[in-house]
Structure 1
Amino acid sequence: MKIKTRAGSVVFENVTKTYGLGAVTAIDNVSFTINPGELVTLLGPSGCGKTTTLRMIAGLEHATKGKILIGGKDVTQLPATDRDVSMVFQSYALFPHMTVLENVAYGLTVTGVAKAEAHEKAEEGLDLVGLAGYGRRLPSELSGGQQQRVAVARALVLEPEVLLLDEPLSNLDAKLRRQVRTEIRELQQKLGLTAVYVTHDQEEALAVSDHIIVMNRAVIAQQGTPRELYEQPASGFIADFIGDANLVGAELVEVEGDMAHIEIGGLRQTLPHRGLGIGPVNVAVRPDAIELSAVNGESRQSSLKGHITHAAYLGNQMQYSVTSDIGDLFVIDPHIDAPIATGDEVRIGFSGRGLAVVPTDE
């Protein structure tokens, strides 16, 4: 017996969800498509609508307007019990009085699968998540990471069309989060699962996703691959939310084909104009795209200057807060052997990567 995978698509067509007779709009006319076998992350700040969206896929909430399809089937009005999905919860939700094997088999047994068959599948599920031989233990005898893997195994043995993961790593420490997220991603790719993953952790989203849907204020702010969102943010909000960004005012002074000449505090940069015309723009500048040098040192850049207001050593990098004529800047510098002291004056330049033009009207 092998656990089967039946990856299904997920489609939202103009879905709206309101509460309190329309007084509160949690999701506002949202449309997207998740293809079979993709891991797509719903990302955004608290209250943006990502968890409501996940719960609507699961059938735990119902759309006020619009249509939801799973595997091509209209499930908009179907209850959770009639949808071919499984969810991994933030809290693990394991039964403390049951063994690990019984926890994994539970969903099968309540749907009428014979106990022997359910336990055989549960053993396969535990083997998939690297917990073969742990079936007789109680959840309390496992680490947090192991308990989360049990929760994943319990969802997988139901052979869902779509696997839903609701902030599955938020209860783990930072090092364990990195380990378990890698395991989840490798398992999803190995089985060809369709997975929808909710998190507020930008690094986690970048690490595990085929695509990311960034939500803000009940709508989709931008969607795309991790690289597209990081390197081509559609707005200052996206630039700052997907990794840190310094948003600085600039002037687009000349357009040549797809490129534009941008003046940033007296420094000229050539960047893709991304459809923006001549006039004021903002430039999202990644912290590691800013180059600092002593004010009396040689520099290829012009005379844009600043002062270090805070310096912090983080082992593999220095982090600086800098005041300048273009605003307060957050800078990450890999040069740890010759740190710049708080209070020092510095020249400010930009590297070739990590800058993107974004609109000023948000």
Structure 2
Amino acid sequence: MTSPRRGAVAFEHVRKDFGGFTAIPDLTLRIEPGELVTLLGPSGCGKTTTLRMLAGLESPSAGRILIGGEDVTRLPANRRDVSMVFQSYALFPHMTIAQNVAYGLESGGMKAGPARDAADRGLGLVGLDGMGERLPSELSGGQQQRVAVARALVLEPQVLLLDEPLSNLDARLRRRVRTEIRDLQQRLGFTAVYVTHDQEEALAVSDRIVVMQDGRIAQEGTPRALYEQPASDFIADFIGEANVVPCEVDRVADGMATVRVGGLTQTVPARDAAPGPAQLSVRANAITLQEGNGPFGGKIVSSAYLGDHLEYEIETDVGLLFAIDAEGHAPLRPGTPVSLGFRPRGLALIA
């Protein structure tokens, strides 16, 4: 394989209609060369439709799509310089691993010898050296997904597309393969567009996350920015399962806001907030609790022991809160009164 061509991607006022339903109203988005951008959102938000339009599997109803500066809006899929990794792997079961990886090259006119050499190099990139003669059935799910990645990479596309690539793997294997994909992308520097509904997966692999809601971009930014500075209650809840509670901003000075929740007062970044009613995003691991009564009290509704931490639902005056306690040893029983506090990190005002 040669050095990757790092193509930029641009959506310019793209709309997609399905009959009388508009799935994507007006999408404008740019992905820089060598960047891994994840399209994240719940089912039906438009992320897969966006990826399929980029791949040429769906045609926009309006707007333009550019890859490497070239308008590909009306080009068929086989004339776009992209490769796609599917969640189902889509390997030919009767072909060896090497034959699967070489298939696209040979279909494009490359002779069998050079295609096999390229396939071997591609398998080496994903850590499958010496396994080219095996059949897909002789590999684990994680190994099969790596073959699918190698098959896409040997075509040396400007852009690699990954459609829910880890959804068929168990939790432990997902963690390992996502790390491998991220390491490979950073090492080779190719441009990648990654679709998932898994927030943890998106946080782990992305340079930038684009959260979609009802076919629109709800917020985009680095993983840390989205987690620590959600722009709405939808983002706060979807990225990291935060509690969103009503609060009162008492005053704002020097970019910081003094906020009251129940009987607690907290200082947080103001984020353009003005004095008055507002909403506060509170991460589950930012809640502290101890048995007994206090300025901000509640009552345990349910508890769950998960090995390295405890999870609680707590009834309070500002609503039902979800809390994670990594320090507790024995779960508190339902009905137990508790006093709540907030750690400074994990709090964010929402406009």
Q: TM-score range by the shorter chain?
A: over 0.9
Amino acid at match of 2:323: V
Structure 2 matches for 1:60-75, cutoff 5 A?
60-75=57-72
TM (norm. structure 1) is 0.95
Which SS does the other structure have where 1:196 is aligned? strand
1:155-190 deviation digits (Å, cap 9, x = unpaired): 000000000000000000000000000000000111
Structure 2 matches for 1:85-164, cutoff 5 A?
85-164=82-161
Name whichever of 274-283 and 151-160 sits farther off: 274-283
Structure 1 residue 331: Cα displacement: 0.4
In structure 2, the residue matched to 1:183 is 180
1:244-277 deviation digits (Å, cap 9, x = unpaired): 1111111112111311111111211111221222
In structure 1, the residue matched to 2:249 is 252
Identity value in percent: 63
In structure 2, the residue matched to 1:24 is 21
Which SS does the other structure have where 2:149 is aligned? helix
Q: Do structure 1's residue 352 and structure 2's residue 344 form an aligned pair?
A: yes
Structure 2 matches for 1:1-362, cutoff 5 A?
2-20=1-19, 23-295=20-292, 303-359=295-351
- Distance in 2 (CA, whole Å) between partners of 1:264 and 1:329 is 13
Amino acid at match of 2:169: L
- Distance in 1 (CA, whole Å) between partners of 2:236 and 2:283 is 8
- Distance in 1 (CA, whole Å) between partners of 2:326 and 2:95 is 50
Structure 1 residue 338: Cα displacement: 4.7
Q: Is the 8 A contact 1:318 1:339 kept in 2?
A: yes
Structure 1 residue 293: Cα displacement: 1.1
Which SS does the other structure have where 1:132 is aligned? coil
Where structure 1 has 5 or more consecutive residues not aligned to the other structure, the ranges are 297-301
Q: Is the 8 A contact 1:3 1:125 kept in 2?
A: no
- Distance in 2 (CA, whole Å) between partners of 1:116 and 1:205 is 38
- Distance in 2 (CA, whole Å) between partners of 1:60 and 1:332 is 43
Structure 1 residue 336: Cα displacement: 2.9
- Distance in 2 (CA, whole Å) between partners of 1:91 and 1:304 is 49
Amino acid at match of 2:75: L
Where structure 2 has 5 or more consecutive residues not aligned to the other structure, the ranges are none
- Distance in 2 (CA, whole Å) between partners of 1:253 and 1:192 is 48
Q: Is the 8 A contact 2:304 2:331 kept in 1?
A: no
Name whichever of 337-346 and 45-54 sits farther off: 337-346
Structure 1 residue 76: Cα displacement: 1.2
Amino acid at match of 1:13: E
Q: Is the 8 A contact 1:3 1:157 kept in 2?
A: no
Amino acid at match of 2:14: V
- Distance in 1 (CA, whole Å) between partners of 2:324 and 2:305 is 10
Structure 1 residue 55: Cα displacement: 0.7
- Distance in 2 (CA, whole Å) between partners of 1:319 and 1:44 is 24
- Distance in 1 (CA, whole Å) between partners of 2:12 and 2:249 is 37
CA RMSD between the two structures: 1.1
In structure 2, the residue matched to 1:299 is none
- Distance in 1 (CA, whole Å) between partners of 2:330 and 2:48 is 45
Which SS does the other structure have where 2:259 is aligned? strand
- Distance in 1 (CA, whole Å) between partners of 2:132 and 2:122 is 10
- Distance in 2 (CA, whole Å) between partners of 1:199 and 1:119 is 32
Structure 1 residue 4: Cα displacement: 3.2
The runs of 4+ residues in structure 1 deviating greater than 3 Å are none
1:43-65 deviation digits (Å, cap 9, x = unpaired): 00000000011111111111111
Q: Is the 8 A contact 1:248 1:282 kept in 2?
A: yes
